[in-house]
Amino acid sequence: MNRIGILATGSYLPPTVVGNEEIARSSGVSDEWIVRKTGIRERRRADDRDATSDLAARAARAALEQAGVAARDVAYIVLATSTPDHPQPATASIVQHLIGAENAAAFDINAVCSGFVYATTVAERLLRAAEPGRYALVIGADIYSRILDYSDPKTALLFGDGAGAALLGTVAADRGIRETSLLTRGDQYRLISVPAGGSRMPANDRTLREGAHFFRMDGRGVRSFVQDNLPGALHELLAKAGVRPGDIRHFVPHQANAVMLGEVWPALGLTGATMHLAMERYGNTGSASVPVTLDLAHRQGLFADGDSVLLAGFGGGMTVGAVLADWAPTACARPRAQELAAVR
């Protein structure tokens, strides 16, 4: 079996900045309240002309450029999104066309905010069984601004738009992805939803009047789900890998809410790790949040050869996913004018 690791990263964050003041006016809260409750100060909003595939393609190109790999050499494109361009075809197919990856098999995964970790797990399994030297593009991309009810402070203030990507390929036998873990608690699927627009509740005049096409979330229920499930899932993964929590060097979680992450942090036991956060400037970008944060950290040169890196996603479904990797030497990281908060 090939050992598979991350060879390069990329991201795209739209240039339009939406500060808390704008969100506060429509949702009936204050800038101070938003920062105190979430740690978010601003987020990005996609241009009206752009769809999820456009953001995903830009992030994918950035990863390919960093690695010096041509799009035609990519064997697989696995795109994680819960805001696809259309119900069908798969948004990954459109990305394949946009970047010229004509030799890649392309498909979507929807595990909501755990999507990038789920997609990474699938791509890693595909490459392990493939010929050495094959590449997979794993992309997380979402445009949540199109499905938000801006009068709902529980959701409107959290989300931003963006895309992140990672190029996976063969690495040395003592580097790369060591273990992955996926968990779904379908009995709690109602905690996060977009009720209308699918086969159970097709679009009609009534669903539009009732706003059933907007994103809905039970915030307290989600917080309880994370506290109850994330620590155990990570500890089980690390035990399987034979790694102590205190030996992890970097933790890149889904950027859901800085306050919630701060509350669950002690239970994770990652005493030697830096938790990387990007949500102050970019908010919760859904399935893009883990790869965007990973890319920002990588381009700042924060990962050294052999560092243990733990990625964790959690979101609708309800889902939890984790990937443990020993960082492999990658293409030269090119700094960008973007900020990342790294907190122990």
Strands (E), the chain: 4-12, 16-19, 42-45, 74-80, 105-109, 135-143, 161-170, 176-184, 192-193, 216-217, 250-253, 274-277, 308-315, 319-326, 341-343
Q: How many angstroms separate the most distant Cα atoms in the chain?
A: 57
Say what the pLDDT of residue 33 is.
Answer: 93
What is the dihedral sign for C-alpha 115, 84, 275, 310?
Answer: positive
Domain with CATH 3.40.47.10 in the chain: 4-170, 176-343
Determine if residue 328 is left, alpha or beta; phi over 0 gives left, psi from -120 to 50 gives alpha, anything else beta: beta
Say what the pLDDT of residue 337 is.
Answer: 44
Say what the pLDDT of residue 153 is.
Answer: 85
> Tokens in use for 260?
């919630």
Strands (E), 235-273: 250-253
* CB hemisphere CA count around 8 (13 angstroms): 22
Q: Which letter does DSSP use for residue 284 in this model?
A: B
4-170: CATH architecture: 3-Layer(aba) Sandwich (3.40)
CA distance 303 to 326: 10
Which residues lie closer than 8 Å to 129 by C-beta, 6 or more apart? Answer: 1
CA distance 85 to 150: 21
CA distance 314 to 101: 30
Question: What are residue 303's phi and psi, to 5 degrees?
Answer: -100, 125
CA distance 157 to 41: 9
Say what the pLDDT of residue 257 is.
Answer: 95
Question: What residue type is assigned to position 253 of the chain?
Answer: P
Residue reference for tokens 């990625």: 311
pLDDT tens digits, the chain, 344 residues: what are they?
789 999 999 999 999 999 999 999 888 899 999 999 999 999 999 999 999 999 999 999 999 999 999 999 999 999 999 999 999 999 999 999 999 999 999 999 999 999 999 999 999 999 999 888 899 999 999 999 999 999 888 899 999 999 999 999 999 999 999 999 999 999 999 999 999 999 999 999 999 999 999 999 999 999 999 999 999 999 999 999 999 999 999 999 999 999 999 999 999 999 999 999 999 999 999 999 999 999 999 999 999 999 999 999 999 999 999 999 999 977 644 544 455 665 54
- H or E element, residue 66: helix 52-67
Question: Active-site positions?
Answer: 113, 254, 284
Burial 41-66 (b: 16+ CB within 10 A, else e): bbbbbbeeebbbbbbbbbbbbbbbeb
- Domain 176-343 sits in CATH 3.40.47.10: yes
SS3 65: helix
- In 10 A of CB 18, how many CB atoms? 17
With CA atoms as reference, report the closest residue to 139 among 159, 124, 119, 122.
119
Question: What residue type is assigned to position 196 of the chain?
Answer: A
Say what the pLDDT of residue 341 is.
Answer: 64
With CA atoms as reference, report the closest residue to 117 among 340, 328, 317, 329.
317
User: How many angstroms separate the Cα of 107 from the Cα of each of 73, 101, 116?
Assistant: 17, 13, 13
**Cβ atoms of 280 and 258 closer than 8 Å:** yes
Say what the pLDDT of residue 339 is.
Answer: 57
